[in-house]
Amino acid sequence: MDQTLESSMRPRNDNRDRGASVSLVNLEKSYGPVVAVAGVSLDIRSGEFLTLLGPSGSGKTTTLMMIAGFESPTSGDIAIDGRSVVAVPPYRRNIGMVFQNYALFPHLTVAENIGFPLKQRGVPKAERTKLVGEALELVRLPGYGERHPRQLSGGQQQRVAVARAIVFKPRLLLLDEPLGALDKQLRENLQIEVRRLHAELGITFVLVTHDQDEALTMSDRIAVMNDGKVAQIGRPEDLYDRPCSHFVAGFIGQSNFMPAVVCGMEEGVVVAKCQGILVRAVASQPPAIGAEVSVTTRPERLRFADTTVETGPSVNRMSVTVVEAAFAGERCRYLLKSDCGASMVLKEASSATIRRRAVGERTEIAWSIADTILV
């Protein structure tokens, strides 16, 4: 999905003061000699939807479990609304939790599952019935209260799990890969539902996922984790357009990478040589001349030169040969090889009016310097 469209679809939350703020200060967790979380410091704003994104073993789930209280930090602090909760047991943190495997009681009805945390808190039956009904309405399952989990689809069971997590009105909701067990279409539909729910409730959501598309679609901000640390944090569009490292550029979306050597600077733009071809790129900090770097750009930002009106000093250009061509529905994907031997992937919108390129065709590509990032 187009990143600008995703941003415009993201609901505005005008009730952010309902959510808890969370502060992680130099948080560490070790299991013997294995360091799972290595000094994470992070401020999560009241009412924010923040995603911890990373590959398996990056420390994202361990971080979430420490916020929930199911794991104790080796060192560091966790504060919710400015109060340290490291010594507070999970049941006293008043946090809602949604798991990937739903964790519903199979012998209880939907209403009994949702009402369970209220019963544990001593809420009278009449009030429980009212709150369960409201929660079912919120997750769009009115009338399902008397069914059992086995009578529901996977998506419906996940909605029940969400309803159970929010029925007692927590100010913080933690979601651990909540959509990971669902098929692609259902997962995409529930992404929209979770965003709607966040906008309606106004509470703080912290999501853990390894799915980059899910993170880009749902989050106000994303903290990309790797090797137990936060590699970069920012808005989805900032991380996608301005990754700070080779890892972030490669993990969020698809990227082309070219090894290069820095030749100098021209009007604030880095000039680098990629195997004999000069390429201009933007960088967060001016690199040293002679430094060995990588330049990266997204496949959808490349254009065949005969289809773009962009010319002049704001555009990089390169002669290439089409090595592979694949039709993928809404896009055509081309693997290209430059004269200097660099491989590039170009993704072009599919249309009956756009000429498809043939394998072996010699052509030229062009792309904006603003879309060329030094990492």
Six-digit token string for 281 = 């790129």
Q: 317 - beta bridge partners?
A: 366
Q: Where are the domains of the chain?
A: 3-95+170-246, 254-374
Same fold, 3-95+170-246 and 254-374: no
Measured in degrees and rounded to the nearest 5, phi and psi for residue 141 equal -130, 45
**pTM of the predicted model, to two decimals?**
0.88
Of the candidates 337, 368, 343, the one whose C-alpha atom is nearest the C-alpha of residue 259 is 343
DSSP string spanning 177-244?
STTTTS-HHHHHHHHHHHHHHHHHH--EEEEEES-HHHHHHH-SEEEEEETTEEEEEE-HHHHHHS-S
pLDDT tens digit at each of 375 positions of the chain = 444 334 333 444 445 468 999 999 999 999 999 999 999 999 999 999 999 999 999 999 999 999 999 999 999 999 999 999 999 999 999 999 998 888 899 999 999 999 999 999 999 999 999 999 999 999 999 999 999 999 998 889 989 999 999 999 999 999 999 887 677 788 888 888 899 999 999 999 999 999 999 999 999 999 999 999 999 999 999 999 999 999 999 999 899 999 999 999 988 899 999 878 899 999 988 889 999 999 999 999 999 988 766 656 688 999 999 999 999 888 999 999 988 788 999 999 888 778 889 999 999 999 999 999 999
d(CA 330, CA 347) in angstroms, rounded, equals 10
Q: Are 232 and 252 in contact (CB under 8 A)?
A: no
Q: Under CATH, which architecture does the 3-95+170-246 domain have?
A: 3-Layer(aba) Sandwich (3.40)
The residues near 178 (Cβ < 8 Å, ≥ 6 apart) are: 98, 99, 100, 158, 161, 162, 194, 207
Supply the pLDDT for residue 309: 61
Question: Quick one: DSSP state of residue 361?
Answer: -
SS3 86: coil
Supply the pLDDT for residue 14: 47
Q: Are 238 and 220 in contact (CB under 8 A)?
A: no
Q: Are 291 and 331 in contact (CB under 8 A)?
A: no
Supply the pLDDT for residue 179: 82
d(CA 195, CA 279) in angstroms, rounded, equals 40
Class of domain 254-374: mainly beta
How far, in Å, are 67, 304, 307, 331, 357 from residue 354 at the CA level? Answer: 51, 11, 9, 11, 9
Of the candidates 368, 349, 157, 156, the one whose C-alpha atom is nearest the C-alpha of residue 279 is 368
DSSP string spanning 5-63?
HHHHHSPP-S-GGGSPPEEEEEEEEEETTEEEEEEEEEEEPTT-EEEEE--TTSSHHHH
Q: Are 281 and 374 in contact (CB under 8 A)?
A: yes
Six-digit token string for 139 = 């997750």
Backbone CA torsion sign across 136, 142, 147, 151: negative
d(CA 136, CA 110) in angstroms, rounded, equals 9
